[in-house]
């Protein structure tokens, strides 16, 4: 049997250990991929698939990319959910005996990207680890580009909580143990709802004793009272995974933040999307989202923190007010706010610069950016020195002015260094004696050469004599053809002939050349070593720098919120302990921006845990029902983030969760029908809502027939309103005017409608919410506004007047009320809709299908059709 070549043997050995990755195998100036990897990469990266002799009968499929262009190819593969293992040559091929030694230096996966070019600077890139042990779930997540690391665990309703956490964090990668993997339903749910790369990680990494040791070794802030168990297993395994992929120490991952999922408002995926918190439903862009309105941050760190705040509104009053008081102080203090914003603009992404220090890919320019950022710190610290709110006072303490780091960079690194750290010109004169000496040797040598040109011109009498340099021949003397007769043949050695000239060297020129080049080479090498030393010195200060970066991001977010509040005319919310939500002149923060000045009509809201728990909101399409409902939810969310809110005044009873059932959902792509999706979302709400929740339901029941829909909507309202079951504050927009019957019948329900004015044949939207139910749908008028052809509108009007006079719609008769009143079970008013009086239906009811022959059936059908036609 044919034997593979030694190099291919080496390849296969390495590949075996990284079989879930695409292996980038360095050969000279290329990364080559072989076999299946080559097939995948050539497809995904549009590379030409070739072959390589590998000792076997068939050539190995192969494709390759130049090493210097690897980043963009890697990021394409990562984006498509692949993992890439980078295998480098570990020795100089020229010096290697036999096959060049190669090894994996790094594995890049979607959650472990550290290259800042591949990352969005305005959002965190999390990798999440889930450990399931019976009913317990441990969770950890980390952004390895910044070093932040969090963990939690839960038992009650664990599966749902894991799901909610995934929705909150939207990690780019998830790893988990076998028990979690075995929950196929859960994995399917993750696949259906999210586009996240996930994989199982070996159970041995989740072993408790090893994990607790790992956690203790990694984090400096672990204390004896630590209560996590499953969470620890998730932390330990995640640390192993990060180490395995990064193959470097992880100095910047030094603080474990243990949190409880109960610290944040729960917002499921559908709600985040429906409320367009960080991106719009239609275009998935930030523009048009809540984040777009309130994110006025000026640093990348601040932008990431702002997104986090929006993604995780708080639920504890003290922590919300802690933020709000700081926002208010900055809101009121123009000077401090504007000064801070100006200074913050000069601050680079310190968090990710620290990551680069740890991963060893920081360059001298980055250090200059760090220095420039540090330069702003004293002024920032001083500026908030007089602030009174506790958060600002604490942030002031958190800022370390890092003067030692500043001084070190300032005296060592040149002000405008090149990108590469291996080409010299990065260390300032005067910082390192040897570098200075070598530089002067090289400088003196160059002076000597410059003088040589003059001297040789004089000696030879050749005025056009030139001393030049190129990489192949080094220094040379160039004489034009016409002067060749004057060349001192005894001293000059001919080296190269060109069309119009000859190039010569002399022994003394070569000697000086080797002094200069030797010094230059040495200086470049030494500069690199000195640079690495500086980098290592700074890496010892990582924790101080991180603390400062954290304070800066918070400050940026606070400034951002106060600026947004001021520019958009927001008000500071206050919090009510009795659970009521009372908003005066509330506005939708995004819609008001999309309408021209003053066009948005503000509306009041009152909801509480008693008589005003559920608002049934009626009104024609386009009246503004869903805008209104979303506006209430957004105001509550903004308040709980710690932001001012778009209203004249707002008193907010803190809510634990917001649920929404609005519009169509993405799940349609997962193969479910609209109605099925709608109902599963409603089911989810009914299962998970509490009396502290806020629920928005828009047109529930629309996806099925009127009867079914109305019955379901009715039953849902009744269920939610029942305090022993849910009792949540709810806004329920509906077309079913019949639901307005519920006011007075069920405690806590109030009717509202968004008013419209009839104007001849048309309607005018007033956008104002008022008490009472609507009794008309104005569907045809809205259709007219939407531009349906006049002919269609006319026909629709004809049909409706016919329908209104027919059996089907002749429902609301004078005795409706009596029927309602008399209902003692299951609200019999639904019977108004029944077709009980219709003789065709009655006849149908009598048919015994099992005892009917096909012929009889046809006869019956014929009779019924004739009857129906005669009624028309
Ligand atoms: P509905 O849910 O009743 O069909 P929407 O909430 O979708 O209606 O509102 C329709 C449009 O009306 C929105 O796109 C918006 O431009 C406008 N609108 C809604 N509420 C207001 C308001 N309070 N002031 C001004 N315009 C509004």
- Tokens coding 345: 């603009």
- Tokens coding 195: 């586009």
- Tokens coding 818: 């009596």
In the reported structure, the alpha carbon of residue 618 is separated from the centroid of ligand 1 by a whole-number distance in angstroms of: 13
Q: How far apart are CA 76 and CA 167, in angstroms?
A: 24
Q: Are 568 and 580 in contact (CB under 8 A)?
A: no
Helix (H), strand (E), coil (C) string for 245-306: HHCCCCCCCCCEEECCHHHECEECHHHHHHCCCCCCCCCCCCCCCHHHHHCCCCCHHHHHHH
Residue 728: predicted pLDDT: 96
Nearest CA to ligand 1 atom 13: 624
Q: How far apart are CA 765 and CA 771, in angstroms?
A: 16
Most confident stretch, 114-118, 713-717, 777-781: 713-717
Residue 824: predicted pLDDT: 41
The mean per-residue pLDDT over the stretch 234-239 comes to 97
Q: Which stretch of 20-29, 223-232, 752-761 has the lowest confidence by average pLDDT?
A: 223-232
| Coil, strand or helix at 506 | coil
Residue 691 has pLDDT above 80, yes or no: yes
Does residue 778 line the site of ligand 1, with CB under 6 A? Answer: no
pLDDT band at residue 831, thresholds of 50, 70 and 90? very low
The mean per-residue pLDDT over the stretch 81-95 comes to 90
**Which residue did the predictor score with more confidence, 815 or 608?**
608
Residue 835: predicted pLDDT: 43
For tokens 């009655």, the residue is 842
β strands within 462-525, DSSP E: 466-470, 474-480, 493-497, 501-505
Distance of CA 690 to the CA centre of its chain: 28
Ligand 1 atom index nearest CA of 627: 6
Residue 664: predicted pLDDT: 55
The three-point CA angle 690-740-815 to 5° equals: 140
pLDDT band at residue 671, thresholds of 50, 70 and 90? low
Does residue 631 line the site of ligand 1, with CB under 6 A? Answer: no
Q: How far apart are CA 309 and CA 577, in angstroms?
A: 23
Q: How far apart are CA 830 and CA 834, in angstroms?
A: 7
The three-point CA angle 52-58-59 to 5° equals: 10
Pairing of strands 127-133, 102-108: unpaired
Count the Cβ atoms, other than its own, within 10 Å of residue 160: 16
Residue 653: predicted pLDDT: 97
The mean per-residue pLDDT over the stretch 301-320 comes to 96
In the reported structure, the alpha carbon of residue 752 is separated from the centroid of ligand 1 by a whole-number distance in angstroms of: 16
CA nearest neighbour of 630 among 320, 271, 164: 271
| Count of alpha carbons within 13 angstroms of residue 824, beta-carbon side | 1
In the reported structure, the alpha carbon of residue 591 is separated from the centroid of ligand 1 by a whole-number distance in angstroms of: 8
Round the average pLDDT of the chain to a whole number and report it.
Answer: 88
| Coil, strand or helix at 597 | coil
Q: pLDDT by residue (tens digit) across 441-462?
A: 888 988 998 899 999 999 999 9
The three-point CA angle 248-253-254 to 5° equals: 125
CA nearest neighbour of 322 among 397, 393, 400: 393
Does residue 296 line the site of ligand 1, with CB under 6 A? Answer: no
Query: Which DSSP state fits 69?
Result: G
For tokens 């204390």, the residue is 223
Q: How far apart are CA 149 and CA 254, in angstroms?
A: 8
Beta bridge partners of 150: 141, 257
The mean per-residue pLDDT over the stretch 492-516 comes to 91
Residue 823: predicted pLDDT: 42
Is the alpha carbon torsion for 852, 858, 860, 861 positive or negative? Answer: positive
pLDDT band at residue 55, thresholds of 50, 70 and 90? confident
Judged by phi (left if over 0) then psi (alpha if -120 to 50, else beta), residue 430 lies in left
Count the Cβ atoms, other than its own, within 10 Å of residue 112: 22
Backbone phi, then psi, for 126, in 5-degree steps?
A: -95, 145
pLDDT band at residue 3, thresholds of 50, 70 and 90? confident
Q: Are 248 and 358 in contact (CB under 8 A)?
A: yes
Residue 803: predicted pLDDT: 72
CA distances (Å), origin 741, targets 23, 713, 718: 67, 13, 12
In the reported structure, the alpha carbon of residue 741 is separated from the centroid of ligand 1 by a whole-number distance in angstroms of: 25
pLDDT band at residue 672, thresholds of 50, 70 and 90? low
Ligand 1 atom index nearest CA of 765: 12
pTM of this prediction exceeds 0.85: no
Residue 825 has pLDDT above 50, yes or no: no
The mean per-residue pLDDT over the stretch 544-549 comes to 96
pLDDT band at residue 411, thresholds of 50, 70 and 90? very high
In the reported structure, the alpha carbon of residue 657 is separated from the centroid of ligand 1 by a whole-number distance in angstroms of: 25
Q: Are 655 and 635 in contact (CB under 8 A)?
A: no
Does residue 767 line the site of ligand 1, with CB under 6 A? Answer: yes
Residue 149: predicted pLDDT: 96
Residue 299 has pLDDT above 90, yes or no: yes
Q: How far apart are CA 54 and CA 39, in angstroms?
A: 16
Residue 814 has pLDDT above 60, yes or no: no
CA distances (Å), origin 126, targets 169, 219, 241, 276: 7, 18, 13, 21
Residue 829: predicted pLDDT: 36
Q: How far apart are CA 369 and CA 413, in angstroms?
A: 11
pLDDT band at residue 811, thresholds of 50, 70 and 90? very low
CA nearest neighbour of 532 among 360, 352, 403: 360
Tell me how long the chain is.
Answer: 872
Does residue 735 line the site of ligand 1, with CB under 6 A? Answer: no
Q: Which stretch of 151-165, 190-204, 508-522, 858-872 has the lowest confidence by average pLDDT?
A: 858-872
All residues at 6 or more sequence positions from 83 whose CB lies less than 8 Å from its CB, including other chains: 20, 21, 22, 107, 108, 109, 110
Ligand 1 atom index nearest CA of 595: 16
Residue 827: predicted pLDDT: 37
Beta bridge partners of 64: 32
Q: How far apart are CA 447 and CA 443, in angstroms?
A: 6
Does residue 618 line the site of ligand 1, with CB under 6 A? Answer: no
Is the alpha carbon torsion for 271, 272, 276, 280 positive or negative? Answer: negative
In the reported structure, the alpha carbon of residue 622 is separated from the centroid of ligand 1 by a whole-number distance in angstroms of: 6
Does residue 601 line the site of ligand 1, with CB under 6 A? Answer: yes
> Kind and range of the H or E element at 530?
helix 507-539
| Coil, strand or helix at 534 | helix
Residue 871: predicted pLDDT: 62
The mean per-residue pLDDT over the stretch 196-200 comes to 93
Cβ-count burial of 793 within 10 angstroms (0-12 exposed, 13-18 middle, 19+ buried)?
A: middle
pLDDT band at residue 800, thresholds of 50, 70 and 90? confident
Residue 670: predicted pLDDT: 52
The mean per-residue pLDDT over the stretch 662-672 comes to 55
Residue 828 has pLDDT above 50, yes or no: no
Residue 541 has pLDDT above 80, yes or no: yes
Contacts of residues 563-567 at CB distance under 8 Å and 24 or more positions apart, as own/partner, are 563/296, 563/337, 563/341, 564/293, 564/294, 564/295, 564/296, 564/643, 564/644, 565/327, 565/331, 565/643, 565/644, 566/331, 567/296
Residue 666 has pLDDT above 50, yes or no: no
Percent of the chain beyond pLDDT 90? 62
The mean per-residue pLDDT over the stretch 661-671 comes to 58
Cβ-count burial of 281 within 10 angstroms (0-12 exposed, 13-18 middle, 19+ buried)?
A: middle
Q: How far apart are CA 462 and CA 456, in angstroms?
A: 8
Ligand 1 atom index nearest CA of 599: 25
| Count of alpha carbons within 13 angstroms of residue 484, beta-carbon side | 12
- Tokens coding 408: 């070190």
Residue 822: predicted pLDDT: 40
Backbone phi, then psi, for 89, in 5-degree steps?
A: -80, 125
Contacts of residues 161-164 at CB distance under 8 Å and 24 or more positions apart, as own/partner, are 161/137, 161/261, 162/130, 162/137, 162/186, 163/189, 163/190, 163/193, 163/268, 164/261, 164/266, 164/267, 164/268
Q: Are 89 and 26 in contact (CB under 8 A)?
A: yes
Mutate which of 275, 590, 591 for ligand 1 pocket (most atoms within 8 A of beta carbon): 591
CA nearest neighbour of 698 among 619, 604, 601, 592: 619
């Amino acid at each position: 049997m044919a034997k593979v070549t030694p190099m291919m043997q080496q390849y296969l050995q390495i590949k075996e250990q990284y079989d879930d990755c695409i292996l980038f195998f360095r050969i000279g100036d290329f990364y080559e991929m072989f076999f299946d990897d080559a097939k995948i990469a050539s497809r995904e990266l549009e590379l030409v698939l070739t072959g390589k002799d590998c000792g076997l009968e068939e050539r190995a499929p192969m494709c390759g990319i130049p090493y210097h262009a690897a980043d963009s190819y890697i990021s394409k593969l990562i984006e498509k959910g692949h993992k890439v293992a980078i295998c480098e040559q570990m020795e100089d091929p020229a010096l290697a005996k036999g096959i060049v030694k190669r090894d994996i230096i790094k594995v890049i996966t979607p959650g472990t990207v550290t290259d800042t070019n591949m990352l969005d600077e305005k959002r965190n890139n999390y990798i999440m680890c889930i450990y399931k042990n019976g009913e317990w779930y441990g969770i950890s997540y980390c952004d390895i580009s910044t070093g932040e690391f969090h963990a939690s665990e839960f038992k009650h309703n664990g599966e749902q909580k894991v799901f909610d956490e995934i929705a909150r964090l939207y990690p780019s990668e998830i790893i988990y143990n076998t028990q979690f993997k075995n929950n196929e339903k859960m994995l399917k749910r993750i696949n259906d709802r999210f586009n996240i790369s996930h994989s199982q990680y070996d159970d041995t990494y989740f072993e408790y004793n090893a994990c607790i040791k790992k956690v203790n070794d990694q984090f400096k802030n672990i204390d004896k009272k630590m209560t996590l168990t499953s969470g620890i297993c998730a932390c330990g395994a995640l640390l192993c995974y990060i180490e395995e992929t990064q193959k470097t120490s992880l100095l910047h991952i030094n603080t474990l933040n243990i949190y409880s999922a109960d610290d944040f408002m729960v917002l499921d995926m559908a709600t985040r999307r429906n409320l367009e918190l960080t991106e719009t439903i239609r275009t998935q862009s930030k523009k048009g989202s809540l984040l777009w309105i309130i994110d006025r941050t000026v640093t990348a760190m601040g932008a990431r923190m702002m997104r986090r705040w929006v993604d995780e509104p708080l639920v504890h009053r003290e922590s919300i007010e802690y933020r709000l008081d700081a926002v208010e102080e900055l809101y009121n203090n123009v000077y401090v706010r504007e000064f801070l914003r100006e200074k913050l603009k000069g601050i680079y992404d310190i968090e990710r610069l620290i990551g680069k220090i740890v991963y060893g890919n920081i360059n001298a320019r980055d250090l200059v950016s760090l220095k420039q950022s540090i330069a702003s710190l004293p002024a920032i610290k001083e500026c908030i020195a007089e602030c009174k709110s506790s958060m600002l006072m604490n942030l002031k303490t958190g800022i370390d002015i890092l003067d030692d780091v500043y001084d070190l960079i300032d005296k060592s690194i040149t002000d405008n260094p090149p990108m590469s750290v291996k080409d010299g010109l990065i260390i300032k004169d005067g910082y390192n004696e040897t570098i200075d000496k070598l530089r002067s040797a090289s400088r003196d040598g160059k002076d000597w050469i410059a003088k040589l040109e003059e001297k040789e011109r004089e000696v030879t009498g050749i005025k056009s004599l030139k001393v030049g340099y190129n990489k192949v021949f080094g220094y040379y003397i160039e004489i034009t053809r016409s002067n060749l007769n004057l060349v001192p043949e005894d001293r000059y050695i001919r080296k190269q002939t060109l069309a119009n000239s000859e190039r010569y060297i002399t022994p003394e020129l070569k000697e000086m050349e080797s002094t200069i080049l030797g010094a230059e080479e040495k200086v470049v090498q030494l500069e690199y070593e000195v640079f690495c030393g500086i980098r290592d010195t700074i890496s010892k200060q990582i924790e101080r720098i991180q603390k400062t970066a954290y304070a800066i991001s918070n400050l940026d977010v606070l400034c951002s919120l106060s600026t947004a509040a001021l520019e958009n005319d927001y008000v500071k919310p206050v919090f009510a302990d009795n659970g009521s939500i009372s908003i005066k002149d509330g506005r939708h923060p995004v819609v008001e921006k999309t309408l021209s000045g003053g066009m948005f009509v503000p509306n009041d809201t009152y909801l509480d845990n008693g008589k005003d728990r559920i608002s049934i909101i009626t009104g024609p399409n386009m009246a503004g029902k869903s805008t209104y409902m979303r506006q209430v939810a957004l105001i509550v969310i903004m308040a709980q983030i710690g932001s001012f809110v778009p209203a004249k005044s707002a008193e907010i009873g803190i809510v634990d969760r917001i649920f929404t059932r609005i519009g169509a959902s993405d799940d349609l792509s997962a193969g479910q029908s609209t109605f099925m999706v709608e109902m599963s979302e409603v089911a989810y709400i009914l299962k998970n809502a509490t009396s502290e929740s806020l629920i928005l339901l828009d047109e529930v029941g629309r996806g099925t027939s009127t009867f079914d829909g109305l019955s379901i909507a009715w039953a849902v309202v009744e269920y939610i309103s029942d305090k022993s079951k849910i009792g949540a504050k709810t806004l329920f927009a509906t077309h079913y005017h019949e639901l307005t019957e519920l006011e007075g019948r069920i405690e806590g329900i109030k009717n509202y409608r968004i008013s419209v004015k009839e104007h001849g044949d048309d309607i005018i939207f007033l956008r104002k919410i008022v008490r009472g139910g609507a009794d008309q749908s104005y569907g045809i008028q809205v259709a007219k506004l939407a531009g349906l052809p006049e002919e269609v509108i006319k026909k629709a009007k004809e049909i409706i007047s016919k329908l209104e006079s027919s059996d089907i719609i002749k429902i609301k008769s004078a005795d409706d009320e009596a029927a309602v009143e008399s209902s003692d079970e299951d609200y019999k008013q639904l019977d108004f809709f029944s077709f009980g009086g219709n003789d065709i239906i009655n006849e149908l009811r009598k048919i015994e299908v099992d005892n009917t022959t096909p012929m009889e059936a046809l006869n019956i059908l014929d009779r019924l059709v004739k009857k129906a036609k005669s009624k028309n």
